[in-house]
Chain A
């Protein structure tokens, strides 16, 4: 099976190439079928690989000799493969969601949109599977360029172009930082593979008797910067709400559902394989960096999420908040932290993508994503409303959703974590439930609220173009089905008993610095026997119920109030100015902040 690992990445590439070559002549249904087949084939390969023992694939058969190689390796470990499988499944869902109904493709380029989605899939799968730093950078860039183009897809309006531009600027800066960091490591070790670099750092530390020096720390900071930009951690997060608010809905599902999470995955992967040994960065420094940025992102994201009336922007800030929670889980640097986070990511992908899917239906029916303008407009679509509310409850951590299980497993790791996780889940879930109550039940007061002039202008989200060419009357069947299936997936993550055990075993292998190098370079996969694992506990379920109840309470309290503004948060809101220069300044300042946190 190891030999076939590259196919997970290249099958979508081939699909995209065929769509571009023939896109001029094939009708739209054929193009969409080809894209769906390629994405599904990749998902199937990843799923089959998950059932086999972990394998590595040396591309071009340039396997290691005496622990050195001139080639690139793809590593089919459970966590990476799982992420590739999640990506591919989500791409299939997105293609189904945009099937037939999504806006007419550009004239003469019938296959352009599905081709871009396939390239996006290839970039993310490649990033998830590669065991090579430079190769990871290449796929990081591929994800990036496709992401910018998809974000700006609706060029008729000004804001998508601005969102794509901001996304492009900030992510490119991250890319440059990563390249500098990789260059430093290469200069020191002469290696680009993660396992080889980690081993070379450890050997030089053993020879000189000292740990990682300034060069190693600088490399860590620079590479981590790029991954935190992708993960949209504060203060690198500014691009995300601007991009998510304007990107087409199917693209938002991918951006929030899995691309942002790739940043957290990359940070964990690079730290454990390269920097976790004696020649790397002390665990305390890495933990502090990820923990501080994770907690700040979670709190800032939740605070901003609560105050939005533009529903897509609201969901975008909830992604910032939840990625903050993921980074907090990763920061524990323990197998249990990783396992809990992995389950959380799986559940979140289903819930968040479903929420975006429902928002897209609102946009296509009413030409608006403004909470105030949509007031009561959803009363005639109970099904969509139920799905939207269920998504909100999943975000809030209601058992037995996968989000709740992942949250519970991470919370158990430290006594103060439940407070943070419950608060952030309740606020983000509560914001979604507030929207659900106003839009689908017509609760609270109708009409526009102009009471917030003192708080400065805000993004409202009215008068948006529907993505279906013209407004649809009924919610299209594929769109509703996809949202329901995504939520069912989020539910399955929390209820399928074997999954948690498998993820726990996978996380143990993932966190094993020496075991990874031995598996990749020496062909000796470390054995992590499936042992006992935690599943639902009374405490975990209780905390999940608590955060869900708090979310319902918050929504109920706020639904009748005109203003969503939280006193004292105006400065934070003003920082999200939409000015590219501001965002670039914060990104550069963030490099300084990460250095301080790592070196402290």
Chain B
């Protein structure tokens, strides 16, 4: 298709979709009403399970199977990226050139790395109590590690990032979620049933299996993001396509 025809086809489609969606939106329930059937049921269930953060209760208890699916989507995406960004037969690995980092950036990184890591771990650990959890905290924790790359250099990151270990943790986090779900079956209930003691409301040890599933996701997300960035960084900094003269040699 020529660019012109393509744009016309696209415009017609967008117009029809917008009309359809706009018509649907006029039929939505009014904004700010008090009718929240799922919200009411979820809050009641979260309180019954002594999980202060209802969102985490939905994610790791009421609809924990969705979270297993989502965790697996991330897991699969990272594995897919690892496969797609692999060093192919006609590529070679070169050591990246060191680059000088301004002193201010160096100080900033040294200061922020432990703080960021701590915040990440806090967000993971308090998932059952306050906004956050394994997904969010995992990304923060993984980010902290990469301050090494920004504030020091690539070799420093590589030294503190044993990739094999993170790949192991990536698989272990995924496996831990699956196996924690099976604990429900072994206890005679359903898959992913919350079978642990529920603990005291609004303390770290509350919510039964919620903190454990949350931690499994935290481990998986942290390692998945580290592995993901590692392969992107390697592709950008280390891997080079072979030049023609090398190939003929």
Q: A17-B174, A70-B45 are in contact. Are A119 and B28 (CB under 8 A)?
A: no
Partner among B28, B68, B70, B84 whose Cβ is within 8 Å of the Cβ of A188: B28
**Interface pair A68/B66, CB less than 8 Å apart:** no
With most chain A CB atoms within 10 A of its CB, the pick from B7, B13, B25, B69 is B69
User: Chain B contacts of A214 at CB under 8 A?
Assistant: 20, 23-24, 26-27
B174 and A16 contacting across the interface, CB-CB below 8 Å? yes
- Indicate if the CB atoms of A155 and B84 lie closer than 8 Å: yes
A13 within 8 A of B: yes
Check if A146 sits within 8 Å of B76, measured CB to CB.
yes
Q: How far is the CB of B180 from chain A (nearest CB, A)?
A: 11
Query: What is the bound-complex CA distance between A217 and B88, given in angstroms?
Result: 48
Q: Can you report 22 residue pairs joining A to B where beta carbons are below 8 Å apart?
A: A3-B190, A6-B181, A14-B175, A14-B179, A21-B175, A23-B167, A23-B171, A24-B167, A60-B190, A60-B191, A62-B62, A70-B41, A70-B45, A72-B66, A142-B72, A142-B73, A155-B84, A192-B38, A584-B10, A588-B10, A588-B17, A589-B12
> Given A13-B178, A71-B62, A119-B72, is A57 in contact with B190 using a C-beta cutoff of 8 Å?
yes
- B171-215 contacts to A, CB under 8 A, are 171-172, 174-175, 178-179, 181-182, 184-185, 189-194
- Residues of A478-528 at the interface with B, using a CB-CB cut-off of 8 Å, are none
Tell me the nearest residue of chain A to B185, going by C-beta. A3
- A sample of 14 more A-B contacts (CB under 8 A), given A14-B175, A134-B63, A582-B1, is A7-B182, A18-B175, A24-B168, A60-B64, A60-B193, A116-B79, A139-B69, A141-B73, A145-B76, A190-B36, A215-B25, A575-B1, A589-B10, A591-B13
Query: Interface code A575-600, partner B: CB below 8 Å = 1, 0 otherwise?
Result: 10101011011111111110110000
> Contact mask B50-74 → A, CB, 8 Å, 1/0?
0000000010011111101110110
Identify which of residues 33-48 in chain B touch chain A, using a CB-to-CB cut-off of 8 Å.
Answer: 35-39, 41-42, 45
Q: Is the CB of B86 within 8 A of A138?
A: no
A-B contact count (CB 8 A): 244
Knowing A60-B65, A60-B190, the reply to whether A119 touches B86 (Cβ < 8 A) is: no
Given contacts A135-B65, A215-B28, contact A119 B75 (CB under 8 A): yes
Complex interface: chain A residues within 8 A of B77 (CB): 145, 149
Residues of chain A contacted by B191 (CB below 8 angstroms): 3, 6-7, 10, 57, 59-60
Check if B68 sits within 8 Å of A585, measured CB to CB.
Answer: no
Q: Which stretch in A105-113, A256-264, A343-351 binds the other chain?
A: A105-113
Q: Residues 138-156 of chain A: 1 if any B CB is under 8 Å from the residue's CB, otherwise 0?
A: 1101100110111011011
A10/B76 in contact, CB under 8 A: no
Of A59, A142, A146, A221, most buried by chain B (CB within 10 Å of CB) is A59
* Interface presence of A126 (CB below 8 A): yes
Interface on chain A toward B: helix, strand, loop, or mixed SS?
Answer: helix
> A residues touching B (Cβ–Cβ < 8 Å)?
3-4, 6-7, 10, 13-14, 16-24, 57-62, 68, 70-72, 106-107, 109, 112-113, 115-116, 119, 122-123, 126, 134-135, 138-139, 141-142, 145-146, 148-150, 152-153, 155-156, 164, 180, 184, 186-192, 213-215, 217-219, 221-222, 574-575, 577, 579, 581-582, 584-593, 595-596
B82 in the interface, Cβ–Cβ < 8 Å? yes
A101 to B188, CA, bound (A): 43
Residues of A within 8 A of B42 (CB): 70
Q: Decide: A190 near B6, CB < 8 A? Known: A59-B191, A145-B76.
A: no
Chain A positions within 8 Å of B69 at CB level: 126, 135, 138-139, 141-142
**Residues of chain B within 8 A of A218, CB atoms compared:** 20-21, 23-24
Is B84's CB under 8 angstroms from A221's CB?
no
Interface size on B, residues (CB 8 A): 75
| Partner among A59, A106, A123 whose Cβ is within 8 Å of the Cβ of B190 | A59
Say yes or no: is B161 at the interface (Cβ < 8 Å to chain A). no
Which 6 residue pairs are nearest across A and B when measured between Cβ atoms?
A: A149-B80, A21-B171, A592-B16, A190-B37, A588-B13, A218-B24
Q: Is the CB of A187 within 8 A of B192?
A: no
List residues of chain A with CB within 8 A of the CB of B181. Answer: 6, 10
| Cross-chain contact B189 with A4 (CB below 8 angstroms) | no
In whole angstroms, what is the CA distance A585 to B17 when docked? Answer: 12
B98 within 8 A of A: no
Q: How far is the CA of A222 from the CA of B79 in the complex (A)?
A: 30
A70, B20: Cβ atoms closer than 8 Å: no
A21 close to B184 (CB less than 8 A)? no
Q: Given A13-B178, A70-B38, check contact A138 B73 (CB 8 Å).
A: yes
Q: Which residue of B lies closest to A213 (CB)?
A: B27
Q: Which residue of A lies closest to B173 (CB)?
A: A17
Q: With contacts A68-B41, A70-B42, A184-B24 known, is A60 near B172, CB below 8 A?
A: no
B45-A62 in contact (CB<8A): yes
Q: Contacts A106-B86, A109-B83; is A20 near B174 (CB within 8 Å)?
A: yes
Question: How far apart are B179's CB and chain A's nearest CB, in angstroms?
Answer: 7
Q: Is the CB of B20 within 8 A of A112?
A: no
CB-nearest residue of chain A to B176: A17
CB-CB < 8 A to A139: which residues of B? 69
Contact of A119 among B37, B76, B167 (CB under 8 A): B76
Closest to B15 in A: A592
Q: In the complex, are the beta carbons of A188 and B29 less than 8 A apart?
A: yes
Tell me whether A577 and B45 are in contact in the complex, defined as CB-CB below 8 angstroms, given that A20-B167, A24-B164, A138-B73 are known contacts. no
- The reply to whether B189 and A61 contact each other, CB–CB distance below 8 Å, is yes
Tell me if B90 is interfacial: C-beta within 8 Å of chain A. yes
A579 CA to B14 CA in the complex, in Å?
19
